[in-house]
A and B are shown apart, each in its own frame.
Chain A
């Protein structure tokens, strides 16, 4: 194109227009999203469900806090873990908590895991064109008392599986779990059991080891791991110290 700078004087967009005219794409510099790091893992067992999230919150190469929680305990049997952007996580968790209260008023009982799973999916898709920057896991006990784990993408596509990871360390941990919990893998065809036969204490050790390893290589995973263990007797909390580096 011939004309170099169509609008010259006083127009702040003159550079943008000029470059566009020359065929260069310009991008806005401000993004509504930020990744605050962290990893979340969930494992479903015969009569338990484990869900764990690291507590380091970062932005860029800086640490914002070493003690941020990723987990929302919705009911006695359901926990939601969200990795990604903290602002969207807080907004999403707040919304789900209040939807849960409404559900309890209308149904006279708390939400089941499957109901929560569907609600989360719908809530995420509602913002299909300006998504929540959260990568979610729903964990709990299903109506039969068996462990249930659901994993999501940012816009609500979900699937029940025996185990899953989300967040900055997911590529480090997921293959390890695939290796150790093969039977419950969502990759197998035909689809098998979506729970692992491993007893609770062994699964807990596996998750802890996985986090320690992920903490070594992933700079965004560290400080502590908050673990919630869901059984028919309620929800128990465990904590694992990680390296602070």
Chain B
């Protein structure tokens, strides 16, 4: 009832002790399309659903490489996401320049959180309207963090953010026990199935799914279009209700076997292949 009175300024508290502007910013994250993250003992996987404005436009990029050992998935205001991405990339490069080593994931996430918090306590600023899933590997192992506009951040074993993420979270909670020892392929499959649960209509295709993987010996690699197709196909194959005939199902069984093997062993190669074909994902500035 009193929401409208206390929500104009980010620097105004409500009588219940809430900052409505910050909560509204978190609402923007919930409006973004779903992004799922999960990790095993060796790898971290991000699976995201790309939206497109209309049939004529391209799909909005959701996953960004920050450094060889780290990358993010965003949900919410893309502009804010790109701005944070630029900041993170710069920080990683500077860290490498000064210390000749990769930036520890948790430290960079904390820096983002501190940056976000500042925007909740200045009258001339507004909170960032984007939630980040940060996937990275450092000497302590694989990490998955989630940061949000409030300046809060947590480390996760698995998490989903964005529209209808609760369905994805339910799936993740159900299968949590199997993640630590899962292989990379299994982890990606889990990620995509969790993502699928968040779909209200339509289905996952190579055009609207974007997957990213990173591991101790695997540079952060984005799998899109052709690179993600084998996983999509494998996903469909496991579906109980299939409209395709047995012959088509047989075809699909062969394709994922070699596709998955190629995708598994060729993390870096897939990235380079993605880069070469049509010069990879559209440059950030053109989005």
Contact = CB atoms under 8 A, between A and B. Distances in A.
A99 to B, nearest CB: 9
Contacts of B285: 106
Interface residues of A, number: 10
Main secondary structure of the interface of B (DSSP, over half): helix
Contacts of B96: 98
B265 interface: no
A215 B168 CA distance: 67
A108 B275 contact: yes
Contact of A98 (B97, B276, B279): B97
A98 B93 contact: yes
A121 to B, nearest CB: 21
B65 A105 contact: yes
B283 A101 contact: no
Interface string A95-133: 000100110011111100000000000000000000000
B97 A102 contact: no
A186 B97 CA distance: 37
Interface residues of B, number: 15
A107 B279 CA distance: 9
Nearest to B283: A108
A94 interface: yes
A109 B284 contact: no
A108 B97 contact: no
A1 B204 CA distance: 92
B89 interface: yes
Nearest to A76: B272
Contact of B93 (A101, A106, A107, A109): A101
Contacts of B97: 94, 98
Given A94-B97, A98-B96, A98-B97, A109 B275 contact: yes
Contacts of B89: 102, 105
B141 interface: no
| Interface-centre pick from A94, A98, A102, A108 (highest chain B CB count, 10 A) | A108
B180 interface: no
A101 B219 CA distance: 14
**Residue of A101, A105, A110 contacting most chain B CB atoms (<10 Å):** A105
A123 to B, nearest CB: 14
B79 interface: no
A84 B279 CA distance: 37
B31 to A, nearest CB: 27
B93 A102 contact: yes
Nearest to A107: B283
Nearest to B96: A98
Contacts of B93: 98, 101-102
A33 B281 CA distance: 45
A94 B281 CA distance: 27
B136 to A, nearest CB: 16
A107 B65 CA distance: 12
A107 B281 CA distance: 10
A110 B276 CA distance: 10
Contacts of A105: 65, 89, 284
A109 B65 contact: no
A8 B175 CA distance: 87
A101 B96 CA distance: 11
Q: Kindly list the 7 A-B residue pairs having the minimum CB-CB distance in the complex, ordered from nearest.
A: A108-B280, A98-B93, A108-B283, A109-B279, A105-B89, A109-B275, A98-B97
Interface of A: 94, 98, 101-102, 105-110
26 contacts: A94-B97, A98-B93, A98-B96, A98-B97, A101-B67, A101-B93, A102-B89, A102-B93, A105-B65, A105-B89, A105-B284, A106-B283, A106-B284, A106-B285, A107-B283, A108-B275, A108-B279, A108-B280, A108-B281, A108-B282, A108-B283, A109-B275, A109-B276, A109-B279, A109-B280, A110-B275
Interface of B: 65, 67, 89, 93, 96-97, 275-276, 279-285
Given A108-B275, A110-B275, 11 more contacts: A101-B67, A101-B93, A102-B93, A105-B65, A106-B283, A107-B283, A108-B279, A108-B280, A108-B281, A108-B282, A109-B276
